[in-house]
Structure 1
C-alpha cells in the first residue's frame, strides 16, 4: 500500500514538473516573440545609417541598393520588391530620388511600415543652374541628407514612425535617436563656426548635391552637372564654368570618388585649379564601410574639404 502511494506521489510530482516546464517554455516563447528584432530595409547609405542608429539593439537594417551603386538610376528587381514586402519597415529618402517607390507600394505587405524620411521637409526647387540639354526626372532637389540640420529632421521622422508602430520600444528609439542627434548637432555647430566669417562663399561641385548644405550655411553651390551626376554639361556650359572659376578666384573643384570625374578633371586642367573630393554620400563602397566610414566621418571630411575653397 505504501508503495502505491509513493508511486502516485511520484507520478503527481512528475506531472506537476512537466506542466511547469511547459508553462515556462510557453512564457519563454512569448517573451522571445515580443523581443524579436525588427527587420528593416533602407534604400541607400544615409537612410541605412539613420535607421540603424534609431533602432539600435531593437532591430537590424539591410541596405537595399548595393554598396557603391548610384541611387539616382537604381530600379528594384522583383526579388528586391519581395524583400521589401517581407520587412517590418522600409525606409527611403523621397520620391524625388527613389522615383520607383510609388509604383511598388500597392504590392507591399500591409504589415510593412513605409517611412519617407524627408516627409516633414519642404524640398527646395532644383538648384541646378546648368543648361537643360538633358531631361531629368527631378523637379525638386532630393539631397536633404547632405545638410546636418535636415539629417536631424530625417532621424526624427524615422524615430517617430517607428515609435508609433512599436510603442513598447518607443523609449529605446528616443534614447538612441537623442544620442545620434547630439552628434549631428555637433556637426552642425562645426559647419556654422567654419563658415560664419567666410570671405569666399562659392564652391564648385561635380553635381548639384549640396544645395541644402549651401542654403543652411550661407554658401553658393555652382555645379558642373545637374541633380543627377550622369548628366554631362554641354561645351557652352563648360566654357561658362571656366570663366566663372577664373572670374571668382575659385581655388578648388570638387569631384566624387564613386562617380565619373572626367568632366571635373577637364575643367581643372583648363583652369589650373586643383581637385578635391566632396562626397555626396549617395553610396559608400564596401571598402569604405569595412574601413568604418560613416555619415559622420565623411561629413567631417567634407567640412575640411570645403574649408579649402571657402577660406
Structure 2
C-alpha cells in the first residue's frame, strides 16, 4: 500500500467510527419494535443471523458454504475488482464495525486489514484469519528459473568485487591504494543506489511483506481455510457449532474431490511447468509437483522488467512452451506479448481473486472455476 493511501485511509477512520456508532443496534434493539409512544414490545423473530463481513470472493465462497442460512455474508471488495491493492471506503469500515464476524485471508493479501481493525471500537468482533496455521511461501520461493538467474548475477558481481579487491592490494603505494579504495567505495554507493532504484521500478511486492497470500488456489489448503472459518463462526454462535461443522464437512468433501482430480491430472502429464501472468499459483504448483514460471510477481498490477520478460521468453523457447496463461480482472497484454514472441497461444488460468459480472451471471463459483483451471492446465501440460 502506498503511503499516501494509508494517510488518506487514516483520515477517514474518525468519521467512519462516528457513522458506525450512530448506526449500530444492540441485539435487544433488533428484537423489539416501537409502539410510537416511546414504549417497545417484544417481537417474535426467527433465529438471529450472524452479520459476517468477508474481504474478497474466495472468503465469501468458503464462509457462505459453512454458514448456510445461519448468517448474512457480505463481501467487502466489489465483484469484478482486483483485491490486491484495493482500499475500503468509509461505508465499508462502518459495515465492519457493526459486524459479528470479519473473515479475511491474511498473509498480506488485505494490506489494509491491520489499520482498519486497529481502529474499530467493536470489542466483540470476531476476526478470522483464514490462512492462520498454514505454512506460507515467501514471494519467489517457488520461482526456480528466476532464482537461478539471480544467483548467477550475484556470483558474477561477487567475483568482480574480489577482482577489484585483489587489484587494490597489489598497488605499491599506500596513497594510490587509498585513492582507489575511495573511488571503489564511491562506485559501490552509486551501484547500490542504482540497484535500489531498479528494484523500486521493478515493483517488488513489499506491500505483501514478501509472503505469497494465494493459499486458496490449492484445494488442500482451501480445506484448512474452511476449517478456520468454521471455528470462527462457531465461536460467534456456539449454539450452531454442530450445524457449521456439518456444512463445512459437506463442502470439504467437494474440495477433497477436486484435490484428487488435480493429483490424477498431473501424475502422467508430459510436462510439469507452466507460464502464468503473475505468481498466484505457487501453492497449487507445490501441492502437485509442478513448476510455476510467473512473468511478474505476487501483485498482478506489477509490471515485469525487461530482464524478467527476456528470462520468461528464453524459458518458453528452451522448454517449447505452447501456452501462456493470463487471468481475468487485469490486462492480458503482457502474456499476449510473450505468446507472440515465442509462437504460443494464450489461455485463462484464473486466480479467483474475484468473479466478473459475467461469471456471476453464469452461476460460476470457486469449485467450477477451479475445474476450468484444471482443464486448462491438463491441456497445457500435455502439449
Query: Which TM-score band applies after superposition, normalised by the shorter structure?
Result: 0.7 to 0.9
Verify: 1:291 aligned to 2:303, yes or no.
Answer: no
C-alpha contact (below 8 Å) 1:251/1:308 kept by paired residues: no
Runs of 5+ in structure 1 lacking a partner? Answer: 1-24
Structure 2 counterpart of 1:114, from 119, 124, 127? 127
Cross-structure match for 2:181? none
Q: TM-score, normalised by structure 2?
A: 0.71
- 2:172 aligns with none
Comparing 200-209 with 130-139, greater Cα deviation is found at 130-139
Give the alignment partner of residue 68 of structure 2, picking from 56, 60, 73: 56
In the other structure, the counterpart of 1:134 is 203
What is residue 376 of structure 2 aligned with on the other side?
Answer: 305
8 Å contact 1:281–1:295 — kept in the other structure?
Answer: yes
Question: What residue is the counterpart of 2:106 in the other structure?
Answer: 94
Q: What pairs with 1:1-311 in structure 2 (closer than 5 Å)?
A: 29=44, 32=45, 35-108=47-120, 109-127=122-140, 129=143, 132=199, 133-136=202-205, 137-138=207-208, 139-311=210-382
The whole-number CA distance in structure 2 between the counterparts of 1:293 and 1:49 is: 11
Checking the alignment, whether the CA contact within 8 Å between 2:57 and 2:354 is kept in structure 1 is yes
- Root mean square deviation, CA, Å: 1.5
Q: 1:253 aligns to what SS in structure 2?
A: strand
Secondary structure of the residue that 2:292 maps to in structure 1? strand
Measure, in 2, the Cα distance between the counterparts of 1:135 and 1:305. 28
Q: Are the counterparts in 2 of residues 146 and 212 from structure 1 also a CA contact under 8 Å? A: yes
Map Cα deviations across residues 6-38 of structure 1 (whole Å, 9 max, x no partner). Answer: xxxxxxxxxxxxxxxxxxx95x73xx37x1111
Q: How far off is 1:258 after superposition?
A: 1.5
Matches of 1:158 and 1:175 in 2, distance apart? 13
**Is the 1:95–1:101 Cα contact (8 Å) retained in structure 2?**
no
- Which residue does the alignment assign to 1:4? none
Contact 2:107 2:212 in 1 (8 A): no
Find the aligned partners of 1:163 and 1:237 in 2 and give their Cα distance: 46
**C-alpha separation in 2, matches of 1:258 and 1:200:** 28
Alignment partners' CA distance in 2, 1:120 and 1:251: 37
- Return the alpha-carbon distance in structure 2 between the equivalents of residues 293 and 169 of structure 1: 28
SS of equivalent residue, structure 2 residue 118? helix
Cα deviation, residue 257, structure 1? 2.2
Partner of 1:73, secondary structure, is coil
Q: Name 2:192's counterpart in structure 1.
A: none
Output the CA distance in 1 between the equivalents of 2:237 and 2:328: 39
Q: TM-score, normalised by structure 1?
A: 0.88
User: Which string of whole-angstrom CA distances, capped at 9 and with x for unpartnered residues, describes residues 149-174 of structure 1?
Assistant: 01000000000121122110001101
Distance in 2 of aligned mates of 1:242 and 1:135: 20
- Size of the alignment, in residue pairs? 283
